[in-house]
């Protein structure tokens, strides 16, 4: 599930990065993964979720699911592109609000 084009650490300078914690009880399961991907798709920016060794496309529900990030895990949101800051903010809020669960 690693995105080949950009490995962690090789990002350009203009990336927005946020550290978030998976706060909902069951981790990033279907409903939060769906909300996350849906929200991410609304932005032009390229958004990656970095979790341990893996980094995946936040716009893909399948990628987000395969992270299988459980409750309490720390994930980094990395967005790059025109609306990167807005995108990172929006996704950070989703995590903070436990995906409205």
Contacting positions for other proteins (CB under 8 A):
1, 26-27, 29-31, 34, 37-38, 41, 57, 59-63, 65-66, 68, 70, 101
Residue 16 and residue 83: Cα distance in Å, rounded? 10
- Give 20's strand partners: 75
The helix/strand/coil state of 77 is: strand
- Among all residues, which ones are annotated catalytic? 29
d(CA 64, CA 53): 14
Sign of the C-alpha dihedral computed for residues 5, 8, 14 and 15 taken in this order = positive
**Rounded distance, CA 61 to CA 43, Å?**
15
């Amino acid at each position: 599930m690693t995105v080949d084009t950009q490995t962690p650490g090789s990002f350009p300078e203009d990336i927005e990065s946020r550290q978030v914690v998976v706060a909902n009880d069951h981790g990033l399961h279907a409903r939060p993964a769906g909300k996350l991907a849906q929200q991410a798709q609304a932005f032009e920016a390229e958004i990656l979720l970095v979790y341990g060794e893996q980094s995946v496309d936040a716009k893909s529900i399948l990628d987000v699911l395969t992270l299988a990030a459980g409750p309490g895990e720390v994930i980094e949101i990395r967005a790059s592109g025109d609306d990167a800051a807005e995108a990172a903010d929006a996704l950070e809020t989703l995590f903070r609000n436990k995906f409205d669960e």
